[in-house]
Amino acid sequence: MSFCVAIDGPAAAGKGTVSKAVAKHFGFPHLDTGLLYRATGAKTFEGLTPLDAALSLTTSDLERDDLRSGDAGQAASRVAAIPEVRSALVDFQQAFARRDGGAVLDGRDIGTVICPDAEVKLYITASDEVRALRRYAELIGKGEHVTKEGVSADLRERDERDSARAAAPLKPADDATVIDTSSMTIDEAIAKVIALIEAVRG
């Protein structure tokens, strides 16, 4: 029996951290769908077209060391705006979502496009300022040379591109529960999501 938890939201809102913790709590496999687009974008650095990159994607591509870089994030946002790329990656995501035993998927269009019939739909967000500070700390911790202003500008650019694209724009599903983590600790956010899922599972 399948049980899909769809978690969407903008970059650096906490959805990835929450998703991993929730998946571990319930024993569900987890798919960070953003990695699919980051890996596709990273492969374009090697000269492939975005569509060829998506069609040739393998599991090993999701383990590249450079997928969490700022460049990979920007490349992911660019290729994700291409309808043909999104279509090429839909089947992979939907098969993962409906595997026996349950699954947690996080991304930007899980509840609206990939799994519109998900048993639980969440949209995790935070203020622009909080998200920029979180992403800045993350990148500095990885040794990247960035500024707070530059990180904030990159996030704004991504938000605008992700929200304005014609194919699967970033937005909450109509029936999603919106959780703003701006003033929450990560433990509080995880506990809230676990409680919501347990209420649905009964």
Which amino acids are annotated as binding site for ATP, given as ranges?
9-17
Residues found in the chain? 202
CA distance 7 to 63: 21
d(CA 22, CA 141): 24
3-class secondary-structure state, position 79? helix
Residues flagged as binding site = 9-17
Separation of first and last alpha carbons in the chain: 15
Tracing tokens 């374009």 back to the chain, one arrives at 44
User: Residue 60: what residue type?
Assistant: S
